[in-house]
Amino acid sequence: MVEGIPFVVVSCDAYRDVWLPFFHCFFKYWPDCPLPVYLGSNERTFVDPRVRPLMVGVDGGFGANTLAILTRLKSEWLVTCNEDILLDRRLDTQLVIGIIERGLRANAGCLKLITTPPMAAVRERNDLVGEVPAGSPYRVSFSLNLWRKEVLLALLRQTESAWDFERRGNRRADQMKESFLALDWRLARNPPIPFVHGIIKGRWTSAAVRLLKREGLVECLKGRPRQALSSGVYASLYVRLFRLRWVWEVRRQCEGVLRAAKGQAA
């Protein structure tokens, strides 16, 4: 069912120093990925027979670059990934493909494949995927997602940055009838796709530095500055607080569902 769906690393030449760490970790920890792998870039590419280049020419910014990449793909569906999402453990391919197929069966507009907020509150214990309600912060984000291409095209704007896309794209998504799905919040402790966020504000994160040292890729760290310790602590606290807030919201929704069910039973 997933054969032929492209896995597209959406990047630009300014981040070419990240390509080696990305693909090193990707093929090491997902060696049996059944999806054809593409790299979207400007005028340079990563030389590897497993990677198919999608060069769009002069850098026009996130919106213009991504739209140009999409026009070169014929598939109705695609998986997009940022170049700074660095896999750090082996994936269970059967599990990940099963999740992707779940999104296809639902004809979702988007399915977020990583366990960052917002996540879903799934009623059925055997289901790993659920709806993210309209109005949720970061309901639309550009990280590691399964997209129906027509939905992504409708959300993108030529002149918008990635930050604009996540802020304004959320408002546009709230006006659409398509479903936006995410993984169940209970998967956060054991994510199907384990990864390290590599770069924040143009700097290597502390987690990425540790990972690249472990992988013998210390030379790759020389291309850009490292995150200051204080910035790393702040970012970590922010993520933890955001995650706690989201877990609280999910539990509140679940309690509401249970109360409604008890009321109907009575």
Domains (range + CATH), the chain = 7-227 (3.90.550)
Against a cut of 0.85, is the pTM above it? Answer: yes
Give CA–CA dist 106/131, Å, rounded: 10
Residue entry with tokens 């659920």: 130
Q: Confidence class of residue 260 from pLDDT cuts 50, 70 and 90?
A: low
Q: Confidence class of residue 196 from pLDDT cuts 50, 70 and 90?
A: very high
User: Is pLDDT at 242 greater than 60 in this prediction?
Assistant: no
- Six-digit token string for 256: 């509401």
Average pLDDT of the residues of the chain:
89
Give the residue from 105, 149, 99 showing the smallest Cα distance to 119. 99
- Six-digit token string for 36: 């054809």
**Residues above pLDDT 90, as percent of the chain:** 73
Q: Are residues 154 and 172 in contact, defined by beta-carbon separation less than 8 angstroms?
A: yes
Where is average pLDDT lowest: 34-38, 206-210, 214-218, 257-261? 257-261
Average pLDDT (15-30) is 98
